[in-house]
Structure 1
Amino acid sequence: GRCFPVPLRSSLFQALHSSCCWKKSSAPKKITPNAAFYDENTKEPGNALDKLFSSEQQASILHVLNTASNKELEAFRLLRGRKSVNIIEHREKFGPFQNLESLMNVPLFQYKTAIQVCNSILCPETGGKKRKFQDNRLLRKLIKPEIERERFKAVNSIISIVFGTRRVAWAHVDRKLAVLDWQQNECHQLMKGTYISSVYLQEISSVISKMPKADFYVLEKIGFSIQNSSRFPVVLHFHIMEAMLYALLNKTFAQDGQHQVLSMNRNGVGKHFELMIGDTRTSGKELVKQFLSESVLKEQPRVVFPPEKIVLYRQMFSSTEQHRAEELYDSLLQAVAFYELAVFDTES
């Protein structure tokens, strides 16, 4: 089976200003990290806070801190009460803030708090904007590396790839959720011996040679607990597979720096389809079976299987029922989740 129990982190990203979000991967920008990863009492060395924001963002934040009245500061939820008073008093006693790091010298401002305050100044959370940034935050946890929203909107087709220890499955799905191709390939030589690179290259290249071109190649990302040392051989195998697929499918990355290969959180897909029981994802077999039936019975099915291929897909599905080819089912579910969560949701 492919049910790998993985505890999900409960921490969430703080909402960022739109200028922080969806930057091109080819030109890395300073993006505020997950503030929840930092302990409230964490002390960071030298100008660490300043490094989290671009020079333009720093200037915007400092302008507010140095010029806003007490009433204007209290308009930011995180600065209500004593915090706004402390900023005014610190400003009057020591002069204007010269950098963001100096904010941590103000009483009640520790590292995590300072990050949250800076983010709230850049992006006051109100109404629809708040929900939009929450959605962006969740999307960044679901799909990595982060890419600009325009590229999601422009997607015409993707190939969703899910691999196990002996098998690689992939689904080619367009933005109408039509399944253009759907295959699984047995790779019996993997994880044999000492993880020979040339064997991995040969097996993976054979699979890739059957894939058509697509805008994105989306890989399933499984989070393994590093506490379980017995899982190490499997973890190593998955990392080798992922690295090779990134290298072989990102054919133009050296020239344009644009990521074509993305990783999608397995449990995030499971939650989308309500397949999670606690931290464990259950089989998607019955859901895929339902999609196949609805494609014939419903006028507007959730997933479209072209009439000329529906018989082939049904035969393929039936042939896997005995040995539960979870990779095959998961490759299709991941493709559907990608469109519904990353493409269609960003168009609104």
Structure 2
Amino acid sequence: MTSLSSASMLGTRTALVTTVLTGRHVLGWPCLSPRSQWRLVHCCRSLGRQAPTPEVTSSETNAKGNVDKTYTGQQRDVILHLLNTASESQLDCVKELQGKKAASIVQYREENGLFQDLNTLHQVPQFQSTLIHKVCTSILNYSAKADGNVMAKFLKPDIPLCKLRGANSIVSIVFGLKKLAWVHIDCTMTVKEWQQQECFHFMKGKHLPELYLEDISLVVTQIPQADFYILERPAVSNQNSSLFPVLLHLRTVEAMLYCLLNPRLLEKQQHCVFSMNRNTVGKHFEIMVGESRTSGVDIVQRLIQAAIAAPKPRVNFSPELIHQYRHQLQARGQNRNEEMCDALLQAVTFYELVSF
């Protein structure tokens, strides 16, 4: 009884499959032997699996072949230029390339070379036809707004990119548990001043605001005037309760710097103090390991060495600063001056993202 019931159910399912695939009803089904019914079921199932395959494959092939034809030559040049020249942090500014997609583009370039045409995007893992068209459109929209109307997405609060491009100089500031470092750099990528200050009241006792104000006010009096001040945004997670004292400390320092460096905010109704995510710098210099950023001391040492030997260095230093810091920065040990190195890397990231 059970076997007859099962065969009857299989017959119903097979009839439905055959009806869908052929558009005809199955005649004489009850007259077939159980073995013949089983063979028909097997054929229908195979047919049901194989029927859609040619249509999907054809569609995908057409989509792949038409990516380049979808855009004009000028549009293709714009898209390919960005895909082949932008760093991971620059790609991350494009809406449809944020996150792992930007990293996939950079990884493909490193392993296979530059993109020769838009169809090559199909070779990037996880890049399907629909996503590729979205990416290309997003790049064109981003480039169309790059005349100054687009907001700088790598800084908070938002600011038009055209205003950032008009900056003659900036001060990049990074603070840790015991130190506050800053670098003053102009639009020619010349370091004008580079210092750090020990803050003795940091992380002492109960986070008394008057002690924080005393230390930070003293530092602010030494920071030179600039068009913009860029602070490193703390990267400590608020989900870990054991790190709450550290997060409270960093947020307190950040808030006081916003107030002390921007005294005429209400009068001018315009910010001159902004925060940049620490991982934005890490992605720009490719010093990320997973979700964490590694030390940038080695990179800064190479920047200093290039300023001495290279004809067109990435960053320019005065002879005094080169003499002072050439042998002072250490990649290992307790006196690595991490805050100073991070401040410089943040300043370079700012100018290179703005010029991009």
TM-score, with normalisation over the residues of structure 2? 0.59
CA apart distance, 1:225: 2.0
Larger relative CO (CA 8 A, sep 6+): 1 or 2?
1
Matching residue of 2:82: none
Q: Classify 1:130/1:335 alpha carbon distance in 2 versus 1 (closer, same or farther; 3 Å).
A: closer
Matches of 2:292 and 2:139 in 1, distance apart?
34
Matching residue of 2:324: 312
Partner of 1:317, secondary structure, is: coil
Matching residue of 1:154: 166
Unaligned runs of 5+ in 1: 1-7, 16-33, 35-119
CA apart distance, 1:323: 2.5
Matching residue of 1:329: 341
TM-score, with normalisation over the residues of structure 1? 0.60
CA apart distance, 1:319: 11
Give the residue type in structure 2 aligned to 1:249.
Answer: L
Matches of 1:135 and 1:144 in 2, distance apart?
20
* Identity across matched positions, percent: 44
Matching residue of 1:231: 243
Unaligned runs of 5+ in 2: 1-88, 99-133
Partner of 2:316, secondary structure, is: coil
Matches of 2:299 and 2:147 in 1, distance apart?
25
Equivalent position to 2:179, from 147, 167, 192: 167
Give the residue type in structure 2 aligned to 1:216.
Answer: F
Matches of 2:289 and 2:148 in 1, distance apart?
25
CA apart distance, 1:322: 4.3
Matches of 1:213 and 1:284 in 2, distance apart?
26
Question: Is 1:255 aligned to 2:267, yes or no?
Answer: yes
Matches of 1:259 and 1:286 in 2, distance apart?
33
Residues 182 and 313, structure 1, Cα contact 8 Å, conserved in 2: no
Question: Is 1:222 aligned to 2:234, yes or no?
Answer: yes
Give the residue type in structure 1 aligned to 2:284.
Answer: H
CA apart distance, 1:132: 5.0
Residues 14 and 137, structure 1, Cα contact 8 Å, conserved in 2: no
Q: Choose between structure 1 and 2: higher helix proportion.
A: 2
CA apart distance, 1:154: 0.6
CA apart distance, 1:186: 0.8
Residues 12 and 137, structure 1, Cα contact 8 Å, conserved in 2: no
Q: Classify 1:339/1:261 alpha carbon distance in 2 versus 1 (closer, same or farther; 3 Å).
A: same
Matches of 2:165 and 2:315 in 1, distance apart?
19
Give the residue type in structure 2 aligned to 1:201.
Answer: L
CA apart distance, 1:163: 0.2
Matching residue of 2:315: 303
Q: Which has the larger radius of gyration?
A: 2
Equivalent position to 2:193, from 178, 181, 186: 181
Residues 234 and 247, structure 2, Cα contact 8 Å, conserved in 1: no
CA apart distance, 1:148: 1.8
Residues 149 and 161, structure 2, Cα contact 8 Å, conserved in 1: no
Give the residue type in structure 1 aligned to 2:238.
Answer: I
